[in-house]
Structures are given as C-alpha cells and as structure tokens.
C-alpha cells in the first residue's frame, strides 16, 4: 500500500489517542525505525496490516472497529490531503459517487503507478438502495469499506444503513453490502 494509507493511520491514531499511543503502536508493530511515511512511496501491505494488528493490541479494540473508524476517517483525510477536487469530480451524490469508484481509482492510478485498487460494482435494487459488490486482492478489509460508506454518507449529507450480505472470508466469491440511503441535505434547508 502507499505511504498515504499508513500516514492516515498515524494521523488518526495521533488525533484520537495521542502521539505516545502512536509510538507504542509503531513499536508493537516492529516499525520503531520508521520516522515517517512518505505518501507517494509504496510499502509492503504487511506494514499496514502490522499497524492495524498493533493498534488492536494497544487499544484493546477489535480490528473490525479500527478498520471501520479508519474507513470513515479516510474520506475526510484524503479530501484534506489535496484530493478534494478529485473526490468532487467523482459525483455529487452518494449513489453517483459509489458508481464512479472504479473510475476514481483509475484516475488515482495515474499518480500512483503501482496502485492495486479494489473493484466495486453497483446493483441498484430500488430508488434508494443498492447492493455494492466489493472485490479486492487484499484480505480482511470489508470493515474498512463499511467505514468508507459511512464517511461518504456524511460527505453527501445522506443517512445510510449498511448490511453485509456476502462474506469473502466465509467462502463467498466477494463481499457484498446492501445499502439503503436517504438524502438529508434537503432536510437541512
């Protein structure tokens, strides 16, 4: 994964738990020699998985909770880190954005040449619901997708309810999420 992901994990831990906890997590992960992550540099996926595993141990939290929190954090983090316009170009509503996730990753791949993004396929089940099919070469990141969807719901002022209905880790071909959504932006006026 790119350093941007590891840097985001660091920033989330520091913001929510403090620098000392980050240093403990880094040490527990066996990464005490890394002073900082370079956003555009590629790192072994093992580095990221080690950070999550160490965070679980140090914070006494299950990986699912950490990954959901990170997914939600990632949406705002990338916008703040200079990718806001790119995110804006992917859609002006939650369903439109989700439909364009693969296109968004293709555009990001122009800057990150070794990017190995997941793939998302939308299957609309009603005017305010869809099934999202998620495929990735990486294991165990379905909870992060749930967090990402919640973060996108906030970004687009949309109430969102997510239920995972197929599980790759349980032998299904891929992960699938049933999503129901209601735009609340018009309610704010």
Question: What does the pLDDT profile of the chain (189 residues) look like in tens digits?
Answer: 888 999 999 999 999 999 999 999 999 999 998 888 987 788 999 999 999 999 999 999 999 999 999 999 999 999 998 888 989 999 999 999 999 999 999 888 877 778 889 999 999 999 999 999 999 999 999 999 999 999 999 999 999 999 999 999 999 999 999 999 998 765 444
How far apart CA 155 and CA 92 sit, in angstroms, is 10
Helices (H), the chain: 3-17, 19-28, 45-59, 63-78, 84-89, 94-99, 101-108, 142-155
How far apart CA 73 and CA 21 sit, in angstroms, is 18
Could you please state the CATH topology (level 3) that the domain comprising 67-188 is classified under: H-NOX domain (3.90.1520)
CB 135 within 8 A of CB 174: yes
Q: How high is the pLDDT of residue 186? A: 55
How far apart CA 3 and CA 43 sit, in angstroms, is 6
Q: How high is the pLDDT of residue 189? A: 42
How far apart CA 9 and CA 119 sit, in angstroms, is 22
CB 52 within 8 A of CB 143: no
Residue of 71, 22, 75, 76 lying closest to 51 (CA atoms): 22
Q: How high is the pLDDT of residue 110? A: 79
How far apart CA 135 and CA 157 sit, in angstroms, is 26
Q: How high is the pLDDT of residue 175? A: 98
Q: How high is the pLDDT of residue 109? A: 80
The structural domains of the chain, with segments of one domain joined by +, span 3-61, 67-188
């Amino acid at each position: 994964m790119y350093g941007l992901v590891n840097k985001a994990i660091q920033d989330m831990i520091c913001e929510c738990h403090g620098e000392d906890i980050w240093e403990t997590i880094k040490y527990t992960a066996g990464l005490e020699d890394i002073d900082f992550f370079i956003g555009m540099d590629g790192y072994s996926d093992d580095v990221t998985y080690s950070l999550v595993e160490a965070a679980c141990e140090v914070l006494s939290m299950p990986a699912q909770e950490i990954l959901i929190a990170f997914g939600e954090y990632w949406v705002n983090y990338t916008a703040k880190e200079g990718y806001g316009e790119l995110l804006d170009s992917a859609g002006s509503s939650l369903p439109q954005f989700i439909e364009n996730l693969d296109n968004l990753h293709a555009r990001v791949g122009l800057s990150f040449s070794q990017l190995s993004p997941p793939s998302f396929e939308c299957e609309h089940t009603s005017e305010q619901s869809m099934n999202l099919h998620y495929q990735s070469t990486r294991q165990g990141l379905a909870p992060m997708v749930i967090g990402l969807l919640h973060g996108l719901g906030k970004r687009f002022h949309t109430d969102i309810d997510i239920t995972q209905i197929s599980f790759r880790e349980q032998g299904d071909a891929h992960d699938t999420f049933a999503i129901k959504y209601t735009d609340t932006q018009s309610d704010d006026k």
